[in-house]
Homo-oligomer: A and B are copies of this chain.
Amino acid sequence: MTARTPSRTLGESVRDIPEATVARLPVYLRALNTLAEAGTRTCSSEELATAAGVNSAKLRKDLSYLGSYGTRGVGYDVDYLRYQIAREIGVTQDWPVVIVGIGNLGHALANYSGFRSRGFRVVALLDADHSRHGEVVAGVDVRAFDDLEEIVSTHGVAIGVIAAPAAAAQDVADRMVACGITSILNFAPSVISVPDGVDVRKVDLSIELQILAYHEQRKAQLS
């Protein structure tokens, strides 16, 4: 669902992990965290797979892309594997993030505790609406959209979140890219285009519901 594959230029010494696997690693990480909190020291691929809601063969193959971190006949060491996955997807570091658009969704995102606990730190909330500047939401300063460049360079921001209306999304994205942001999470219901080398992921709430509606309708037709 990522807009483009990262334009690998040269070198290519880095092991590359299939996109589908990358998307599941965070799920495994969460399952491992839950197991660790419950005091589990070791787990089999079967247990972890169940906790993550996937097939155990798939889990093992996924993990095998990272290396051989399990022990045959025994299973995986929860803490060790947890660390390895976290390191691989980069959540051991600190990722400064800016959110643009302080509507209901922007609010919800700023307040979302799941970000902070995974190494994402919201450094600013930007909005075009001047009347809200200076406000503090969830401990984060609301700033002018024009401050984007300064904020990005000051904090070394690489990831931007678009929670603005669809009409503004492309503009916001262009500005982000111009400031040096190279990864964008887009919640606006519109297609945005970006140059090569910039990753875009899109989350569309109403599309998810429409997909459910399609299947729901089919279920109804069968009877």
Binding site for B on A (CB under 8 A): 2-3, 6, 8-9, 11, 14, 22-23, 25-27, 29-31, 51-53, 88-91, 93, 95, 97, 103-105, 107-109, 111-112, 114-115, 118-120, 158-159, 161, 182-185, 189-191, 193, 197, 199, 201, 203-219, 221-222
Contacts and interface: CB of A to CB of B under 8 A. Distances in A.
A108 B104 contact: yes
Oligomer copy total: 2
A89 B9 contact: no
Contacts of A25: 210, 214
Contacts of A14: 218, 221-222
Contacts of A191: 27, 31, 51-53
Q: Which of A22, A197, A204, A211 has the most CB of B within 10 A?
A: A211
Nearest to A183: B212
A13 to B, nearest CB: 9
B214 A90 contact: yes
Contact of A26 (B193, B207, B215, B221): B207
Contacts of A3: 53
A198 to B, nearest CB: 10
Nearest to A52: B191
A2 B208 CA distance: 10
A91 B215 contact: no
A23 B90 contact: no
